[in-house]
Amino acid sequence: MSDPGLRCKALEVGYLGKAILPKIDLEIRPGEFWAVIGRNGSGKTTWLRTLLGLLPPVAGAVVRTPPQLRFSYLPQRKAIDELYPLFARDVVRMGLERNWSFLRPRLNGEPPEVEQALAEMGVADLGDTPYRKLSEGQKQRVLFARLAVSHAQVAVLDEPTSAMDKVAEHEAFQLLDGLRQRQGLAIVIVSHFLGMVEQFADRALLLDRDTQSVVSGPPHEVFSHETFHRRFSERPPAIVEEGEHV
């Protein structure tokens, strides 16, 4: 692979030298929107953490092109310790300044990228609001703004919308898709909402530890695969309702 991106090359993921899934071979290219689906415990988070270099591969490799490929990671658990007295714009600045500290004063004012990102995510009026006082949807928008200023080439998000209702989930996917189009970064997101996957993703990855299955391709092909129907639904994808989750 000569273009920028990621390649899973005969990658086996797991713990203590024991693989939990078959070999995974795929490429993630700039501008692609990947959705990772599977039941709880299917290996999705393990694969994500291996992709990011947080876990070593059991076998195979994750090839980064270039090796300095920049990532932004939004984990499943809370990404911000709410005990710190952070305002919304402080959280966004974390994506801009690697050595940011809330103890250090803003010597040069607010970087314009911070205000622009807050505006793009629809929370321009919340910059001076304490982060811990925001709603879950507002917090997620602020975290997306932090992603926007990070200049990442690959954004990895582990169920970032799990606490949202259908409307908020759709808005979140729209924001991420807009960011992908503006910046050309690759999105890799774990989601249980099949309607959102079908509408926004151009590639899907189905992981199933129980049946030792790995299926990747366009969403409509993955949704048509026998593993999908055997594990998640007996109905054809055409009648999976928007917002339905697995």
Instruction: Please tell me the distance from the alpha carbon of residue 169 to that of residue 174, in angstroms, as a whole number.
Output: 9
Q: Would you say the C-alpha torsion 210, 211, 216, 222 has a positive or negative sign? A: negative
Strands 18-19 and 14-15 turn out to be: antiparallel
Token code pair at residue 212: 């030792």
Residue of 35, 12, 31, 32 whose CA lies nearest to 22: 12
Answer for the pair 14, 21: CB distance below 8 angstroms, yes or no.
yes
pLDDT of residue 242: 41
For helices 166-183 and 112-120, the axis angle rounded to 10 degrees is: 130
Record the pTM. 0.86
Is residue 109 scored above 80 in pLDDT? no
pLDDT at 99: 46
- What pLDDT sits at residue 80? 65
Average model confidence (pLDDT) across the chain: 87
SS3 content of the chain, % helix, strand, coil (to 5): 35, 25, 40
Residue 84: is its pLDDT beyond 90?
no
- Residue 18, pLDDT score: 97
